[in-house]
Every structure is written in C-alpha cells, then in structure tokens.
Amino acid sequence: MSSVWSRPSPPRRPVLTREAIVAAAIAVADAEGLAAVSIRRVAAELDARAMTLYSYIERKEDLLALMADEIAAETLVEGPLPGDWREALLLLARRERELVRRHPWRVELISQRVDIGPNGLRHVEQKLAAFDGLGVDRLTAWRFLAVFNDYMTGFVVREAQERGAPREQGVNDAERAAVAQPYIRELVESGEFPRLAPMIEQGVPGADDNFERGLNWVLDGIEAHRRG
C-alpha cells in the first residue's frame, strides 16, 4: 500500500455551466423525447447531483425555456437577409421547419407557452425585417406575421405528430401502411368516397410539396392584400 502523498490526486470534476446543462438536456430530449427531461436525469448525464443543478437553474420550466431558446438559434440567418421579402421569408420558414425536424420535442413546448428568450426574439425580428420590403405599417406587418406563424405552427405540429406516431407505436411507416391499407381500400371501393378514391389510387403530393406550395399561397395572399 503506497503512501497517500505518493498517490495522484483524483481527477477534478469539470465545473458545471448553464450552457453544459442545457446542452445535456437537449441531447436527452433529442434521443428520448421531452418527457425524459428532468433535473435529476440531466444531473445524472453530467455526473452531478440534482441539487447542484438547482444552483444554476431553479426549476424545470426555466430549463425548458433555455432549451427552446438554445435551439431557436438554429433558425437565425447570419448576415443580411435576401433582398426580396418572399425569398427572405421562405428561407426563414425552411430553417424553422428543419429545426422542428431535428428537435421534434419543440412542438410540445408550444402548448406550454414557455418564456421566449433572446434567440426567439431575434427570429421574430428577422421575420419582421423580411416584411420591410412590403412597405406596410407596423400593425399590418404584425398581422402578416401572425398569419405566417399560424401556417408554420400548424404545419410543423402536424408533421411532427405524423413522423413521431410510428416510432411511438413501435412500427415504421411501411408496417403502419401495410396494416391500414386493406381497410382503406375496402372503404374506397365501396363507392362512398368518389372524390377521395382517385386521390388515394393515383397518389398525392408529399410533405415537401405541401409545405412549399402552402407557404407560397400564404405569401401570395399577403402580396394580394398589399396590392389591393
């Protein structure tokens, strides 16, 4: 047995930071969903005590707000936006959609109304900056923003739910379709759905086409209103 003085000191635990805590929480949510996130779980991921984390973040609601704001940075465009207002909004919308596809748990926070942070406000500011090209007053720009956000929220929530359902049920898309197809075909062949039947038989556009087309229709309506 060696002397205590000759043995090396144990490695020091890295000092925790709020940024490290938020990053660990995001990693847990990405891998297992938002329900898996707790102060105790994040502390375990960081090899720390739960009480230690409370000295950095007082409650879970604050952690969720910090997580939402951290990933909101992924929507921000560095440098100037495209000069054309439509191109600018299309760019921001695509980044917002990709954000939710990377972090589907983000949609669960929509109903929880977590506090908006600086990155979230920067995202809103960039959207409003895109509307500058329309030359409308502030109230009109705010109403345009509301319509734009309503479309985005509806689309990303539905898409996240559709993409997440097979995983939650323990089946993939192909397996889920194989189960549902016979029943749907039986209903369609009954003749009760003359408008829906040809759409199912011939196929319909996918999510990417729906997103782009619907978004452009929203922007067409905004432009028509401005001109009118």
CA pair distance 54, 59, nearest whole angstrom: 7
Task: Quote the CA–CA distance of 156 and 170 in Å, as a whole number.
Answer: 22
Is residue 169 over pLDDT 70? no
27-67 pLDDT, tens digit per residue, is: 999 999 999 999 999 999 999 999 999 989 988 999 999 99
Q: Which domains does the chain have, with CATH numbers?
A: 12-58 (1.10.10.60), 76-227 (1.10.357.10)
* Whole-angstrom distance, CA of residue 115 vs CA of residue 61: 9
C-alpha span between 85 and 83 (Å, rounded): 6
% of the chain beyond a pLDDT of 90: 61
Amino acid sitting at position 206: G
Question: Which of residues 182 and 26 earns the better pLDDT score?
Answer: 26
In terms of pTM, does the model score above 0.85? no
CB atoms within 10 A of CB 65: 21
Closest-CA residue to 155 (of 72, 93, 65): 93
- The alpha carbon of residue 125 and the mean position of all alpha carbons in its chain are separated, in whole angstroms, by 18
Among the listed residues 36, 126, 16, the one whose alpha carbon sits nearest the alpha carbon of residue 79: 126
- Which pLDDT band, with edges at 50, 70 and 90, does 206 fall under? confident
Per the model's pLDDT, the better-predicted residue between 114 and 80 turns out to be 80
